[in-house]
Amino acid sequence: MAIIRRAVLRAAVALSLALGFAGAPALAQGPTPAEEYIRVNIQKGLDILNDSSLGADARREQFRSFLESLTDFHRVAMFTLGPVARTASDADKEAFAAAFHAYAVAVYDKRLSRYNGQQLKVTGSTEHGAGDVVVHATLTDKNGGNPTAIDFRVLDEGGKLVLMDASVEGIWLSIEERDQFVGFLGNHNNDIQALIQHLNALTADLRRR
């Protein structure tokens, strides 16, 4: 379904902003751990994407491993599955999480390869609860055009920071994904296997291009 592809591609753009652009300088007052986490991982993503010594397969595998270290894909997948996650079998939930993971990585890889020259500047953060921080940033092109407001939700999971969501101009993308997936399931009798098959087909299509 094209609408699902558009939603997840938009989510990929947001993560691309976190990982795929030139790093921002440290804030004068000193960055918080969440701010530093976003800043540092920008450079890590860039190092992988710009490593000309890597072949396509090696680059994809390194980038996949990098994303796995950065994002709690299983938790995000269960959120995007919506209310169905409460009643689905463990087997269906695990299969969906695996399909979501593979699709997300394929989309991120495809989208990241299209961006160059932009700069992401971390501008501050807001704590919304213990271990729940939104890092604020702006994206500008190399000509200093109109900046785009970007937010990243970072959670502290037992001492490990993870990127859980991203917002572009106020639109939280995991919420948008959830709405699209729930809509798909509503049109397919809540058949998780149908959604899994659809995501798998989209993943295969992305990898062929």
Residues 111-159 have pLDDT tens digits of 666 555 567 788 999 998 889 999 998 877 767 677 888 888 999 988 8
% of residues, the chain, pLDDT over 90: 35
pLDDT at position 104 over 70 = yes
pLDDT for 21 equals: 36
Going by C-alpha positions, the residue among 207, 208, 178, 209 that lies closest to residue 195 is 178
Going by C-alpha positions, the residue among 184, 197, 164 that lies closest to residue 98 is 197
Structural domains present in the chain:
2-208 (3.10.450.710)
51-65 burial by CB neighbour count: b if 16+ within 10 A, else e? eeeeeeeebbeebbe
What is the pLDDT averaged over residues 73-92? Answer: 94
pTM attached to this predicted model: 0.73
